[in-house]
């Protein structure tokens, strides 16, 4: 079993708020992340696939192939977007890093052709990150 990881990057705007709460309650919980006009991040994502490399290629999954899947199926949908407004598969959830990582898992897990998706790490900033392993 080897774990192979591809890193990717996207830039997006978002706003954290719960539409069923008052503005005051949203401010109390989400603070400046509740800024009405949104704010943004350069997100870094690490997608890890686990598997056994077959001897004839020595690769769990070709990292170029994994990069293309991540770009086409995920990055294209979220890069240079407003996550609350422009991304269909994020509608109805609060775009915290936790919720985003779980939503990204649902998008990517069925599209990994070799091995199996093991982990998604999402960095919202240099000091804040989350990891979801499908558990």
Taking residue 22's Cβ as centre, other Cβ atoms within 10 Å add up to 9
Q: Cβ closer to its own copies: 2 or 109? A: 2
Residue 135 and residue 133: Cα distance in Å, rounded? Answer: 5
Catalytic residue among 80, 98, 126, 131: 80
Q: Based on the residue annotation, tell me whether 126 is a catalytic residue of this protein.
A: no
Q: Cβ closer to its own copies: 40 or 111? A: 40
Q: Based on the residue annotation, tell me whether 33 is a catalytic residue of this protein.
A: yes
Catalytic residue among 124, 126, 131, 135: 124
Which residues of the shown chain bind its own copies in the complex (CB under 8 A)?
1-9, 11-14, 16, 18, 20-21, 29, 31-33, 35, 37-42, 53, 56-60, 62-64, 67, 79-82, 85-86, 93-99, 101-102, 124-133, 135
Q: Based on the residue annotation, tell me whether 76 is a catalytic residue of this protein.
A: no
Write the DSSP symbol of residue 75: I
* Neighbouring residues of 64: CB distance < 8 A, sequence distance ≥ 6: none
Task: Sort strands 39-51 and 2-14 into parallel, antiparallel or unpaired.
Answer: antiparallel
């Amino acid at each position: 079993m080897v774990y192979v990881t591809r890193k990717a990057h996207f830039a997006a705007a978002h706003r954290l708020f719960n539409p069923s709460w008052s503005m005051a309650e949203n401010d109390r919980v989400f603070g400046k992340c509740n800024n009405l006009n949104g704010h943004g991040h350069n997100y870094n994502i690490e997608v890890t696939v686990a598997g056994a490399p077959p001897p004839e290629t020595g690769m769990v999954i070709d990292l170029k192939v994994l990069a293309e899947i991540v770009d086409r199926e995920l990055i294209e949908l979220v890069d240079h977007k407003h996550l609350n407004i422009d991304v269909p598969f994020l509608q109805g959830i609060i775009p915290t890093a936790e919720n985003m990582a779980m939503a990204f898992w649902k998008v990517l897990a069925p599209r990994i052709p070799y091995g199996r998706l093991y982990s998604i790490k999402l960095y919202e900033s240099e000091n804040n990150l989350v990891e979801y392993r499908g558990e």
